Structure 1
Amino acid sequence: MAKKSGGGCLVLVIVAGLAIFGYYQWQKGSSAAPPSGDDTGGGTGRYVALGDSYTSAPRTGAAAGTPPGCDRSANNYPHLVSASIKPAEFVDVSCSGAVTASMTGTQKTANGTNPAQLDAVTKTTTLVTVGIGGNDVGFIALAQQCTTVHPNGAACRDRLTADGHDQLAERTAATAPKIAALLDTIHTKAPKAQIIVVGYPTVLPDGDGCWPALPVGSGDVAYLRDSLANLNTMLSDQAKAHKAGYADTATPSKGHDLCTASDTRWTEGIVPTSHAIPLHPNAKGEQAMAETVENLVKTP
């Protein structure tokens, strides 16, 4: 999620890591299947992947597609899904730093401009995956404000929930109609398409975190973890309300968060130990996300 100082989102902790380093952004879960009537296509026709950096997966593998500034990898979950289901056509237009506005408008990156992602969705499209929303909540603007030398701190939570207003919850609520409009537009542009909204994986562990490896206080870890869960709930609710499936990547990725051992984690920490950018899924994480999506794809 993070922007080109990053790539696709997760919560303040993601952007905090990106700010520090100057970088850019399974066990099967309880994913909700999309409507399965004969009026939708599925994995046999044209598959279009939309999303941010959690979809494009910067640096997990060989670079794929243009513009280079979108940081797509050839082993991100859309490419893995495509290799598995073998659609007649496959187009991945995901881009690091994308927001919902990047679906209908161009997105400038540090190395080229990505066309409006929805331009790739045509009347012949039969499958669309969508991984978006985290950047809309505005985590990037809060980048440098959650790191701390106090392991039990909660300065970000206290500031962001002052006066009885939870800013992250309010921004998530404000993003919901944008997701709704996006899904409705996809249905209009591709009336035969199966749509799958892809949620964000588990980034933070249960408990207090792993300070100082992750320099975020325990109170803020809990707040950010809950805020991410709220974002995923919103995405799931919008998928259900707008005739789309929901790929729950958070449930299968529990126990594989950034505080786990390097051979266990599916999301990298501030200093990656495998190919990925900080605080984003590595190749194992993208593979797990792909498997969750594949379980929902309609095939003959």
Structure 2
Amino acid sequence: MIRRLTAALAAPLLVLLLSPPAQARAAESYVALGDSAAAGPLIPNQVLPDLGCLRSDRNYPRLTAQAIGAASFRDVTCSGAKTRDMYERQNTELGSVAPQLDALRPDTTLVTVHIGANDVGLTGFIEDCLNLLPPPVGDACNDDYRTPDGQDSWRVKTDALRPTLVRLAGDIRARSPQARIFMVGYATYARPDGCYPRVPIIRQDANYIRATLQYFNQMLAEQAAAAGIGFIDLQTPSVGHDPCASSGTRWIEPYVPASPAAPFHPNALGMRNFATIVTSAVNAAR
């Protein structure tokens, strides 16, 4: 009786042992969409064929694809991309590139989309607030961004982007109905009160930039929820790794980078850490 019971238990156990692991059966077909925050401009090595996109082979999408063992991977992130470039050809300094949504397939199972900052001009906004001379010689930039009726122009632009992002999520889902979709937020670009003159943005402008990015990321999270897709927060884990941090600690380079990266963009260390965060979120939602 014991031998028969042992044999009965051993048979299904053998089937389980011989079966491939669930992760191997569900290898991802991953497409990365987005702008320079995902592409990694100037981080070695910049890759072909779309050299004008300033896309690194060490950006977080590629490192995430390696970490999850993606069966296929298409990275069409491109520096300077706006939401319209999901649908239209994007012009770069070295030629135009195809609409990013063209990379999606019906069998795509994972999509990350990191977009929106260029629609409202956030990178240019940060650079506009550089101030080589403190007050009273230099003046704060935060007062320059008011509409005639007294509203904050960056928040007005941010709110105007909301329906566009929901539509984009729906269009991604229509092209890749099997895909899990994640909207990725932007990192911390300014710490409270800044660190003038190490990064030449005065205190009130550093706080304004910080509040503006927080509002923008909150908008992204809200629109991801409205669209029924995931949101990956890079702002919270990057606290303390902003451009004010020392070299070797910061994930975002200042206006004069010490590591190969574009000003106010992620460096290689940032991309490695973003990949860890994205990989963890993707695996947790599996």
Give the Cα–Cα distance (whole angstroms) in 1 for the partners of residues 260 and 27 of structure 2. 31
Provide the C-alpha distance between the structure 2 equivalents of 1:200 and 1:55, rounded to a whole number of angstroms.
9
One-letter code of the match for 1:89?
Answer: S
Q: What stretches of structure 2 of length at least 5 have no aligned partner?
A: 1-24
Q: Does 1:283 align with 2:271?
A: no
Residue 267 (1) aligns with residue 252 (2): yes
The equivalent of 1:58 in structure 2 is 41
* Higher RCO (Cα < 8 Å, 6 or more apart): 1
**Higher alpha-carbon Rg:** 2
1:90 aligns with 2:73: yes
Pair 1:186 & 2:172 matched: yes
Aligned equivalent of 1:203, options 146, 165, 189: 189
In the alignment, the residues of structure 1 paired with residue 222 and residue 26 of structure 2 have an alpha-carbon distance, to the nearest angstrom, of 23
> Hey, what does 1:99 align to over in structure 2?
82
Residue 243 of structure 2 is aligned with which of 247, 258, 263? 258
Number of the residue aligned with 1:167: 153
Note the residue ranges of structure 1 that are not aligned, 5 or more in a row.
1-41
- Aligned to 2:74, what secondary structure does the other structure show? strand
Name the amino acid aligned to 1:196.
F
What is the match of residue 31 of structure 2?
48
Q: Distance in 1 between matches of 2:257 and 2:157?
A: 29
**Alpha-carbon distance in structure 1 between the residues aligned to 2:281 and 2:97:** 28
Contact 1:48-1:125 at 8 Å conserved across structures: yes
* CA 230–142 in structure 1, closer or farther in 2 if over 3 Å, else same: closer
AA of the residue aligned to 1:55: A
TM-score by length of 1: 0.81
Amino acid aligned to 1:200: Y
For residue 260 of structure 1, give the secondary structure of its aligned residue in structure 2: coil
How much has 1:144 moved relative to structure 2?
A: 6.1
Query: Aligned pair 1:223/2:212, yes or no?
Result: no
Compared CA separation, residues 195 and 239, structure 1 to 2 (3 A):
same
Q: Is the 8 A contact 2:155 2:215 kept in 1?
A: yes
Deviation of 1:146 (Å): 2.1
Separation in 1 of the partners of 2:38 and 2:231? 15
Name which of 53, 63, 73 aligns with 2:56.
73
CA distance in 2, matches of 1:58, 1:43: 32
1:240 aligns with 2:225: yes
For 1:24, the equivalent position in structure 2 comes to none
Q: Taking every aligned residue pair, what percent have the same amino acid on both sides?
A: 42
| Mapped contact 1:56–1:95 kept (Cα < 8 A) | yes
* Paired residues for 1:71-150 under 5 Å: 71-139=54-122, 142=125, 145-148=128-131, 149-150=133-134
Q: CA 1:49 to 1:279, structure 2 compared with 1: closer, same or farther past 3 Å?
A: same
1:272-300 superposed Cα distances (whole Å, 9 cap, x missing partner): 11121111111111111111111121487
**Which residue identity does 1:294 align to in structure 2?**
T
Matching residue's letter, 1:150: P
Distance in 1, matches of 2:252 and 2:33, equals 20
Distance in 2 between the 1:144 and 1:98 partners? 18
Root mean square deviation, CA, Å:
1.9
Length, aligned pairs only: 258
Contact 1:196 1:293 in 2 (8 A): no
Contact 1:45 1:124 in 2 (8 A): no
Contact 2:117 2:123 in 1 (8 A): no
Q: Secondary structure at the match of 2:181?
A: strand
Question: Residue 16 of structure 1 aligns with which residue?
Answer: none
Check the 8 A contact 1:154/1:219 in 2, yes or no: no
TM-score, normalisation: structure 2: 0.85
Greater helix content: 2
Whether the aligned pair in 1 keeps the contact of 2:123 and 2:264 (CA below 8 Å) is no
Cα separation, partners in 2 of 1:279 and 1:154, compared to 1, 3 Å = same
What is the CA distance between 1:195 and its match in structure 2? 0.4
